Amino acid sequence: MQQVSPTQDRTQDNIFADVLENYKEICYNIENAKAKYRKSEDIVRLMAVTKTVDPDKINYAASLGVKLLGENRVQEFLSKKDQYDKDAEVHFIGHLQTNKVKYIINDVTLIQSVDSMKLAGEINRQAAKNGKTADILIEINIGDEASKSGVAAQEVMTLAKEISQLENVRVKGLMAIPPIGSGEEVFEKMNGIFLRMREEKIERVSMDILSMGMSGDYELAIKHGSNLVRIGTKLFGARKYMEG
């Protein structure tokens, strides 16, 4: 985890003092969780979830070292992307409709929320059209919640094998949003699926990334194998909700 630069602009530090303090706390907690539960060489990436957050605030977080951003909504992303730190990497993490894939295919480095062959097929089509290979994660509905997207846990292996046949898509791992207040068994189950799929060694399915853990449970997620935590509220404060 990158340290806060001693030359950080003090005016911005004053304006976004809450973000600075939150960032320090999150970094401390991530390193502490790694020290307790993981190998010293393990890397855990911090993603700033940017839903409804102003670009200036996002760029301040980027200046502290949070260079990975998570976008939930296509329309919001398109309205903000040109204002972002040019060194920032963007993943799409929200529910993605097939008819909107074309709008983000060249602007995000990874799509985390793929939960069907239909969506994977459209990503493949748009990637081929643009002469690229798209990296994706398969989203699992690990809590079997009717209100959430994601493929059922028992169907993920089949979906991964189907997606592996697409020439312009690479599966880089798994993503999940465990139910609020989940016990350790849910996180352990998710990590177990991730490790079993890695052992399968499916072509174009590399299982490099386990994206799991948000503001309320990221330390527990790290304990159970997550190497990418998605944090919004804990970093930026309570969200201001937007129409649409």
Q: Note the pLDDT of residue 241.
A: 52
pLDDT at site 15: 82
Predicted confidence at residue 6, as pLDDT, reads 47
- How far is the C-alpha of 187 from the C-alpha of 181, rounded, in Å? 11
In a domain, 208, yes or no: no
Q: What's the Cα-to-Cα distance from 184 to each of 19, 97, 156, 187, 225, rounded to whole Å?
A: 29, 32, 21, 5, 12
Taking residues 49-73, what's their average pLDDT?
A: 97
**Same domain flag for 68 and 137:** no
For the entire predicted model, the pTM comes to 0.92
196 and 218 co-located in one domain: no
**Is residue 99 in some structural domain?**
no
Residue 24 lies in a domain: yes
In a domain, 100, yes or no: no
* Residue 19, Cβ density class (10 Å: 0-12 exposed, 13-18 middle, ≥19 buried): buried
pLDDT-derived band of residue 12, with 50, 70 and 90 as boundaries? confident
The pLDDT assigned to 155 comes to: 97
DSSP 98: G
In a domain, 115, yes or no: yes
- Residue 242 pLDDT > 80, yes or no? no
Indicate whether 187 and 123 sit together in one domain. Answer: yes
Residue 207 lies in a domain: no
- String of DSSP letters for 23-43: HHHHHHHHHHHHHHHS-TT--
Q: How far apart are alpha carbons 33 and 1 in whole angstroms?
A: 13
> Over 90: is that where the pLDDT of 238 sits?
no
Residues 45 and 126 in one domain: no
Q: Is the pLDDT of residue 213 over 70?
A: yes
Rounded Cα–Cα distance for residues 69 and 50 (Å)? 7
CATH assignment of the domain containing 127: 3.20.20.10
Most distant CA atoms of the chain, gap in Å = 52
Report the run of H or E that residue 198 belongs to, with start and end.
helix 184-200
Q: Could you tell me if 84 and 116 lie in one domain?
A: no
Closest CA relative to residue 212, chosen from 162, 174, 158:
174
pLDDT of 30 higher than 80:
yes
Which residues constitute the domain of residue 194?
105-202
Query: How far is Cα 54 from Cα 109, in angstroms, rounded to an integer?
Result: 21
**Does 73 lie in the same domain as 20?**
yes
Give the count of domains, the chain: 2
Residue 175, in any domain of the structure: yes
The answer to whether residues 188 and 139 belong to one domain is: yes
Q: Is the pLDDT of residue 212 over 80?
A: yes
The reported pLDDT for the residue numbered 75 is 98
**Do 191 and 241 have their domain in common?**
no
Question: Does residue 98 sit within a domain?
Answer: no
88 shares a domain with 17: yes
- Residue showing tokens 């990637």: 127
Please give the Cα distance from 102 to 99 (Å, whole number).
Answer: 7
How confident is the model at residue 11, as a pLDDT? Answer: 64
For residue 50, pLDDT beyond 70: yes
Residues 70 and 19 in one domain: yes
What letter would DSSP give residue 180? T
- Per-residue pLDDT of 64-117, as tens digits, reads 999 999 999 999 999 999 999 999 999 999 999 999 999 999 999 999 999 999
User: 83 and 121 share a domain?
Assistant: no
Confidence check: pLDDT of 1 > 70: no
Q: Are residues 110 and 88 in the same domain?
A: no
Residue written as tokens 């991964």? Answer: 160
Residue 4 pLDDT exceeds 50: no
CB 179 within 8 A of CB 186: yes
